[in-house]
Amino acid sequence: MHAAGTVNVKIGLEIHVQINTLKTKLFCGCSSNYRGMPPNTNVCPVCLGLPGALPVVNEKAIEKAVMLCLALRGKVASKVRFDRKHYFYPDLPKNYQITQYTEPICRDGLIEYEYKGTSKAVRIRRINLEEDPGRIVYERGDPRTSPFSLIDYNRSGVALLEIVTEPDFKEPEEVESFLEKLRSILEHLEICDCGLEGAFRVDANISVSGGQRVEVKNIGSIEETVKALAYELARQRDLVMKGLAVRRETRHWDPVRKVTLPARTKEYEEDYRYMPDPNLPPIPLTREYIEKLSKALPELPDQRIERMARQYNLTKPLAKVLVSRKKLADFFEEVVHIYPSNPRRTANYLVNDLLNWLKDEGLRGLYSKVKPEYLANLMRLLDEGKISIRQAKELAEHIAKRGIDPARLVAEMGMEKISDESFLSRVVDEVFREYPKAVQDALRSPKAVNFLVGMVMKKTRGRADPSITRRLVEERLEQLRSELEPQT
């Protein structure tokens, strides 16, 4: 009825990524790994912004930023320059944030990703190196109802990359595919363990034709980004269709109520009074330095998907699922290293069985509970004929839920396949005694044999070796036939 599909949509993103693989913060010796520490214990005069404290830049952070720029085929700046961005907010003890304004460390990159089976590209406008502010804590995470605001400066000064895209997106789902690709690139460059809380944050600019640009801030994950964009798009389209104005404003995503809400009045660029930081003189980036880093670039996701598909005979979609998270692909390659036979089957058990059973725990559960040896042992038990496919699926559930080595489980639970013939023929005798009618049928019709075999499987809880069982049943029937013949 409405021409909603024809409304021109523009979505651009600013992604804040912590370089949390570094030992120290961007300008001081405090740890980058602040999670789990008591509040305000991972601080020093520099990251608390005490008067007279002097920042010293972390060279490894510059290295990571340059490598990301090279991986995205961007232009690396000739000098690293830092600026002060002034604003007054409790998360910022200095009343300014050290960031890059006049000259970002990287310009004009490109990220290619796949969406609905077609290849797409998003232009990267700039990448800035900056410091993370402190963290403000509210009761139940809600600033409107909380009676207090607490401030924790443990995070203050952690190195952050701000990645700014051009407004090239049209749909929230495209953004999802793009962010997953970006996350995988960041993980492969060992810039970010993006699964950690607060390590990967998104601000989005959204506009529809006939309205002004709205910025939605502080979205905490890829999944939430898609929800926030979908909500905000529907809100703006609704306003436009009713003939109401979409005002330029900043909104916040409320992940509990699943709505965007108006935030404090938007500061405009000039309000920040940017100025070069006099404590941090520009650092030249020489051609030799950039070439050295270019040679040191690790295998990136696209290359890894190609290689893994080829090397392990995987389908492209399966290789993509594995490479979408670096640790998942690493896990798979470790399993294959331990047990190299049939890697495609191993990949399927990993993606379809283990991850399926881990459900909400997902990859965290995999890394914390499951060892690569467990999956390798499961594959080995299958190949050695000690367990059936049905049992392998069952064991995958135990591995995922309880984190137990299947080799141990098989022994403990008596799951091993029964191929002992004298034991099985006793079970066959039992079945023949209990189902005389079925035996009569089986003597005439080969189809009825399946029922007898099935009963033996049932009595042994699926552990009887099916081919031995079938042979024993048929031998027993043959014997009966020969006993009956002379009388007819």
Instruction: Give the integer Cα–Cα distance in Å for 225 and 474.
Output: 62
DSSP 461: T
Stretch of 21-29, 91-99, 373-381, 437-445 lying at the interface with Zn ion (CB under 5 A): 21-29
Nearer to Zn ion, 46 or 453 (CB): 46
| Residues from 297 through 336 that contact Zn ion (CB under 5 A) | none
Contact predicate 48/268, CB 8 Å: no
Closest distance of CB 35 from Zn ion, Å: 16
**Closest C-alpha among 23, 252, 4, 22 to residue 136:** 252
Contact predicate 57/27, CB 8 Å: yes
Closest distance of CB 156 from Zn ion, Å: 8
As given in the structure block, the two tokens for residue 461 are: 């809880």
Nearer to Zn ion, 55 or 109 (CB): 55
| Residues from 236 through 255 that contact Zn ion (CB under 5 A) | none
Nearer to Zn ion, 23 or 266 (CB): 23
Closest distance of CB 215 from Zn ion, Å: 30
Longest pairwise C-alpha distance within the chain: 113
Enumerate helices (H) and strands (E) in the chain, giving the number of each.
Answer: 17, 16
As given in the structure block, the two tokens for residue 360 are: 């909400």
Stretch of 1-9, 23-31, 75-83, 454-462 lying at the interface with Zn ion (CB under 5 A): 23-31
Nearer to Zn ion, 44 or 448 (CB): 44
Nearer to Zn ion, 47 or 182 (CB): 47
- Distances from the Cα of 262 to the Cα of 141, 234, 245, 308, 478, angstroms: 17, 16, 15, 46, 83
Q: Pairing mode, if any, of strands 249-254 and 214-219? A: parallel
Nearer to Zn ion, 44 or 351 (CB): 44
Closest distance of CB 278 from Zn ion, Å: 20
Closest distance of CB 31 from Zn ion, Å: 9
Nearer to Zn ion, 155 or 251 (CB): 155
Nearer to Zn ion, 13 or 160 (CB): 160
As given in the structure block, the two tokens for residue 329 are: 């692909």
Nearer to Zn ion, 126 or 155 (CB): 155
Closest distance of CB 92 from Zn ion, Å: 14
| Residues from 421 through 480 that contact Zn ion (CB under 5 A) | none
Instruction: Give the integer Cα–Cα distance in Å for 327 and 74.
Output: 26
Draw the binding track, 24-53, toward Zn ion (x: CB under 5 A; -: no contact).
----x-x-------------x-xx------
Does 382 bind Zn ion (CB under 5 A)? Our answer is no
With b meaning 16 or more CB within 10 Å and e meaning fewer, what string describes 172-190?
bebbbbbbbbbbbbbbbbe
Nearer to Zn ion, 41 or 450 (CB): 41
Closest distance of CB 159 from Zn ion, Å: 12
Nearer to Zn ion, 25 or 188 (CB): 25
Closest distance of CB 27 from Zn ion, Å: 8
Residue with tokens 């007898």: 452
Closest distance of CB 398 from Zn ion, Å: 46
Nearer to Zn ion, 62 or 464 (CB): 62
Closest distance of CB 97 from Zn ion, Å: 15
Angle (CA) 24-30-32 rounded to 5° is 45
Closest distance of CB 137 from Zn ion, Å: 19
What are the DSSP calls for 105-143, one per residue? SEEEEEEEEEETTEEEEEEEEEEEEEE---EEEEGGG-T
Contact predicate 62/23, CB 8 Å: no
Stretch of 22-30, 216-224, 321-329, 375-383 lying at the interface with Zn ion (CB under 5 A): 22-30
Q: Give every CB contact of residue 427 below 8 A, 6+ residues apart in sequence.
A: 456, 459, 460, 464
Size of the site for Zn ion (CB under 5 A): 5
Instruction: Give the integer Cα–Cα distance in Å for 233 and 230.
Output: 5
DSSP reduced 3-state for 215? strand
Contact predicate 164/122, CB 8 Å: no
Instruction: Give the integer Cα–Cα distance in Å for 97 and 93.
Output: 9
Closest distance of CB 40 from Zn ion, Å: 11
Instruction: Point out which residues bind Zn ion (CB under 5 A).
Output: 28, 30, 44, 46-47
